[in-house]
Structure 1
Amino acid sequence: MARYVLHLAFDGGPRRLAARPAHREHLRGLKEEGRLVTAGPWADDTGALHVYEVSAEEELREILRRDPYTAVGGYEIVLLKEWTPIM
């Protein structure tokens, strides 16, 4: 398994906000499955940071394809990078 850090920038539009409950439910399911380590928005709600534990980047990209925010174009990927935590 590999850890990936994902930094998102939100568009601030009403469609993203309407999709937020479904997006958060999607994240809860990933957390329960052990594929999402942690996630949360920046305090000013301009974006978010997620940390995933998945088999490969392609698995993470598939997770993103199923995210309700993707369907409404509610974010831009700022950074998607494999991460090696030491602590």
Structure 2
Amino acid sequence: MAIFALQLQFKNNDRRLEVRPKHREYLTTLREQGKIVTSGPWADETGALLLYDVASEEELRGILAADPYTEADVYDIVLLQEWKPLFPWPAT
């Protein structure tokens, strides 16, 4: 498995807020499956950071394709990069 960091920049804010409940339900499902480590918007709501635990970038791109935010076209990807965490979580 690999950890991927995804940074988003939001756009089409009215549409994004309409779709957000479905997006968050989707993230909850991913969390239950162990596919997402954590996620959340920037404090100013201009974008978000998400950390995924997946087998490959290909798997992650499939996950993103199924995200309601993707279909609604409410973000641009700023960064999608495999990440090597220095400290494991949860902290021991």
Aligned residues: percent identity? 56
CA RMSD, Structure 1 to Structure 2 (Å): 0.7
Stretches of structure 2 that go unaligned for 5 or more consecutive residues are 88-92
Q: Which moved more, 1:75-84 or 1:11-20?
A: 11-20
Q: Does 1:32 align with 2:32?
A: yes
- Counterpart for residue 54 of structure 1: 54
- Counterpart for residue 68 of structure 2: 68
TM-score, scaled relative to structure 1: 0.97
* Structure 2 residue identity aligned to 1:53: D
* Structure 1 residue identity aligned to 2:79: L
Q: How many residues align?
A: 87
- Counterpart for residue 6 of structure 2: 6
Is the CA contact (8 Å cut-off) linking 1:6 and 1:81 kept in structure 2? yes
Is the CA contact (8 Å cut-off) linking 2:12 and 2:73 kept in structure 1? no
- CA–CA distance in structure 2, aligned partners of residues 8 and 30 of structure 1: 17
Is the CA contact (8 Å cut-off) linking 1:11 and 1:75 kept in structure 2? yes
Deviation, 1:13, is: 2.4
Stretches of structure 1 that go unaligned for 5 or more consecutive residues are none
- CA–CA distance in structure 1, aligned partners of residues 13 and 7 of structure 2: 18
Question: Residue by residue, what CA displacement relative to the aligned partner does 1:5-45 show, whole Å, maximum 9, x if unpaired?
Answer: 00000014211110000000000000000000000000010
